[in-house]
A = this chain, B = another copy of it.
């Protein structure tokens, strides 16, 4: 089957990331979607070819309306941002019978009701996972994954810039204005940071979350919005004294009187998982009556994280176009004919760092002998501690952390160490995962 032809509006941070992800992971994505996905046309006023891959297959113009009107194209990805001409482009694409994927939170929050009605009328899909919390599939989680629940409330850290600023203020006792300048230098905050620090960006996202949680029309103008500009370092410190952290939260809650929709600085008990979401990361906590609290964490902005959500939406659309409706999502994520028989490694071939604990005689030379055996097996020690003996015990626990080693080599070395007279019993071992990428 021919690849699905996609038109991309915008080749900036997210547009470029989307082209790059669709190019780099083309095979894997096609195995999942059941059909290739090709960006054939793109519209951009300016772009940097050195940051883009797969450009040879893309016809680029500066006329976004020409892309939207191109009859070959089945799906339009709108990544221009802002209200206009994004609204006109999206409505035109819908009118032309094209499916639309967008990351534009302002557009959906302000004009979503109109856009969805048009999509309904023309029988096309409009997908907007990337509009809320970047790469975190939170729209899918609420709209599908939690469909059994009466949602009680949602609370989210849904603006990375604001969270970066608050994290720096707490970690280093810095002033708001000082951190804001750094965030701008790092590219986390725009030259005009109003949308981020005054909560407008978060309010756009919260408006969308509130609608999908409670089944109400989008009403951005009723969302209460308060920024973080007035937070002083002493508030951060005093909050800490009370056992709280300050986060810029979007909160929407169903009450007997009506629905709360509000974005403002919020103190949260420091032991809550979401209170420990730091830096530019986002997290959304959803409380459902059946499932209880669930939390979704990840990068809320950035080129490829946002592209991840955009591309997932494109895959959703293609799956609906491609597979029979009763098998839209393949059981094992990849289409049945696309499973591969990669080897699964025996545990002896897995590499890991290790914690080791052994009971050794408390006398000179023992540690040296053990260290020599490890060194001979080229196993590096990162840390080693000899603990206090238990009362009346002539042996002591010796604990250490190794650097990464293949398991088989460790097994052989530990077998040799267990043979030593000065080592009693079996050596306890626990694998270490740093989970840092």
Contact = CB atoms under 8 A, between A and B. Distances in A.
Interface in A317-375: 320-321, 324-334, 336, 338-347, 349-350, 355, 357
A290 B305 contact: yes
- Binding site secondary structure of chain A: mixed
Nearest to A426: B230
B251 A433 contact: yes
A167 interface: no
Contacts of A294: 135-137, 296-299
B430 A267 contact: yes
B345 A255 contact: yes
A222 interface: yes
A68 to B, nearest CB: 19
Interface stretch (A28-36, A49-57, A193-201): A28-36
Interface residues of A, number: 148
B141 A399 contact: no
B326 A125 contact: yes
A124 interface: yes
A224 to B, nearest CB: 4
A348 to B, nearest CB: 9
A157 to B, nearest CB: 12
B273 A242 contact: no
Nearest to A269: B434
Nearest to A434: B269
A244 B432 contact: yes
A308 B430 contact: no
A325 to B, nearest CB: 4
A80 interface: no
A350 B147 contact: no
A25 B147 CA distance: 10
A430 B332 contact: no
Interface stretch (A38-46, A209-217, A409-417): A209-217
B347 A262 contact: yes
Given A217-B341, A296-B296, A297-B294, A116 B147 contact: no
A338 B211 CA distance: 12
A355 B235 contact: yes
A234 interface: yes
Contact of A262 (B222, B244, B254, B350): B350
Contacts of A265: 430-431
20 contacts: A28-B149, A116-B331, A120-B331, A125-B326, A148-B308, A155-B433, A155-B435, A213-B333, A215-B333, A218-B332, A234-B387, A235-B355, A238-B355, A246-B430, A255-B345, A258-B344, A258-B345, A267-B431, A273-B273, A276-B276
Given A24-B150, A259-B345, 4 more contacts: A29-B148, A135-B294, A242-B401, A251-B433
